[in-house]
Chains A and B, each alone.
Chain A
């Protein structure tokens, strides 16, 4: 394995990855502004993303000086909602992707190391998971039980963790397992646990990290889609903002009420694209075949 600075140098060469990273950092700054704004400049009674209301205007109001991106149909500030949600989207995406990747890495390495029944079992599970049409399934589940923020993130992470990612990580772990130093470690008396933890997992981790980026994209898109359909019980998110506009019927006059859907829609797309691009950039680091000669 190469050192961190070397990897960083390779990553920096990928313009796509850098573009993504810059966009993510911008979103990070944007999200970090929220607690500052609400504690200093903005009056929480008016600017609270969920219960705020501005009594001075007719809602939804187009962008004004007081509300730079206008207000939504029930009088809440769009910019405040957008900022507040940014942190939440980071949390949701990273949490569920982290769960996915941890489960995927553990299962993938264990399946590769032990082979046999363990391997067959988890691979078949992954086959079935890949079959599952998740969005329809979650729509069905969500319309029947209340899905709130954290349970949803965890469900998404766990469902993803047993899916296709295990197959990819297992293939990687398999290629590590056959290397001579694994045999050496075993001869030296290393336990299976030790070998998996100290020798196989570190070599799989770059790939896991790469897939984590793609999973962040997937998680946020799923959240947005399900929120849009109104089957999630989340008080505020980018998808929820569009849902609010849609439920109140303002999306029928699309062009006129642009501030109700454009900021949040753009935010979702840009945020997801940014993570995906970082993933692509990492791909060039992790995947030797893609490197420029």
Chain B
């Protein structure tokens, strides 16, 4: 296992290097540099522009610049943003990354769960009305024109029904006299939410998988789970954070739901196909023959094996969801990585655009890596040498 992880890690770093190189040269090939921003400014004469070029190292060869960039990249120095001058790129990205991360993790997990549950249901009822209806509806959302769908949902839920806040990350009015900054609250929210989620997972895992699944244990699991949530909520409200956390969560609802709507079909259809295969296996028939109830056979026998390919697709869909991230964040004015990328591209802010693209890559690579390890853990047939045990 250790060897497998290490070799994967080596590959990840190599891929990252290639990726950064590609991104760097791609943006380098684009026309213009920072000194052209001052071209029309009479107060910045030719000599001053030359001096600026020299100070920024733009007079050196492209290869030299590239080497400097890579060296700085691994030190966490990504230069200074042009459009947010003089904020360093690193600062901006570090502020934005957690927001993107939380939004996408929530949406991804939710859509994966919805797709998983629906996929196993429609595979079980293959050829019935449920199957056709869910497939057609799912495909329609999956191929829906995303920006427009976002606008329609905003229009319905935020504008007409006024159920949810319109856009943005926070409600400025509420935060005017706030004793905390949005980033602090968000930090608490992420750590607290993460801790509660891990706690809940452990509780339910222990009671439902580890111990015997008796009625008493299930009740105990629910009880201790709700106690945990109640304690967390109480702590937040004692610290005066609850209103602000609620505000952020409120702003997350619409983007998360939109993302889920648009992406659940991918998992659902894959789960359906994968289930259709496993329901023909002998052990499923054996489970039926034992007289187990239908839902138990479906959920604990057929679906358990069928989930493997969907885990792989989860990884592959990460890249496309990062692409979708730009759309989501722009449509919902969610101040994350995608929005930064979009604005920096429009403003010809090369350092920020390069940094944001590179970070998107880092984000995806880490996700890729984690999923690979997860897959190896889930599927014992994959040998840890990095080669599939049985070919074909």
Contact = CB atoms under 8 A, between A and B. Distances in A.
Interface of A: 15-16, 19, 124, 127-128, 130-137, 139-141, 143-145, 164, 174-175, 178, 217, 221, 224-225, 228-229, 231, 238-239, 242, 251, 254-255, 261, 265, 268-269, 272-273, 276-277, 280, 283, 287, 289-290, 292-293
Given A132-B361, A136-B323, 5 more contacts: A15-B132, A131-B361, A136-B360, A140-B345, A292-B126
Interface in B356-392: 356-357, 360-361, 364-365, 368, 392
Contact of B145 (A139, A265, A283): A265
B287 to A, nearest CB: 18
B30 A144 contact: yes
Contact of A269 (B144, B155, B319): B144
Nearest to B337: A136
B142 A276 contact: yes
A154 B139 CA distance: 26
A239 B145 CA distance: 9
Contact of B139 (A140, A242, A277, A290): A277
Contacts of A287: 273
A139 B316 contact: no
A268 B145 contact: yes
B316 A229 contact: no
Contacts, number: 140
Interface stretch (B63-71, B175-183, B324-332): B324-332
Given A127-B15, A136-B357, A221-B146, A276 B342 contact: no
Contacts of A261: 148, 151
B271 interface: no
Interface in B121-155: 126-127, 132, 135-136, 139-140, 142-148, 151-152, 155
B269 interface: yes
Contact of B316 (A130, A145, A289): A130
B159 interface: yes
Nearest to B154: A254
Interface residues of B, number: 57
B386 to A, nearest CB: 12
Query: 9 closest Cβ contacts across the A-B interface?
Result: A135-B323, A272-B143, A144-B30, A140-B345, A254-B155, A268-B145, A265-B148, A133-B322, A273-B143
A221 B324 CA distance: 11
Interface of B: 15, 18-19, 22, 26-27, 30-32, 126-127, 132, 135-136, 139-140, 142-148, 151-152, 155, 159-160, 269, 273, 276-277, 280, 316, 319, 322-327, 330, 338, 341-342, 345-346, 348, 353, 356-357, 360-361, 364-365, 368, 392
A117 to B, nearest CB: 16
Given A16-B135, A273-B139, A178 B392 contact: yes
Contact of B392 (A137, A174, A251): A174
Given A130-B316, A144-B31, A139 B326 contact: yes
B140 A136 contact: no
28 contacts: A15-B132, A16-B135, A132-B361, A135-B324, A136-B326, A136-B360, A137-B357, A139-B326, A139-B342, A140-B345, A140-B353, A143-B345, A143-B346, A164-B316, A221-B143, A225-B327, A228-B147, A228-B148, A229-B342, A239-B145, A254-B152, A255-B160, A269-B140, A273-B139, A289-B277, A290-B273, A292-B126, A293-B280
B135 A136 contact: no
A276 B139 contact: yes
A269 B30 contact: no
* Majority secondary structure, B binding face: helix
Interface centre among B152, B322, B323, B365, by most chain A C-beta atoms within 10 angstroms, is: B323
B145 A131 contact: no
B81 to A, nearest CB: 15
A239 B148 CA distance: 10
B263 to A, nearest CB: 13
Contacts of A133: 319, 322-323, 325-326, 357, 360-361, 364
A261 B152 CA distance: 10
A139 B392 contact: no
Contact of A144 (B147, B345, B357, B368): B345
Contacts of B276: 289-290
A293 B319 CA distance: 36
Nearest to A171: B392
Nearest to B353: A140
A131 B327 contact: no
Contacts of A136: 322-323, 325-326, 338, 341-342, 345, 356-357, 360
B277 A131 contact: no
Contacts of A224: 145
A135 B15 contact: no
A135 B326 contact: yes
A92 to B, nearest CB: 15
A231 B343 CA distance: 12
A290 to B, nearest CB: 6
A16 B127 CA distance: 10
A221 B145 contact: yes
Contacts of B27: 140
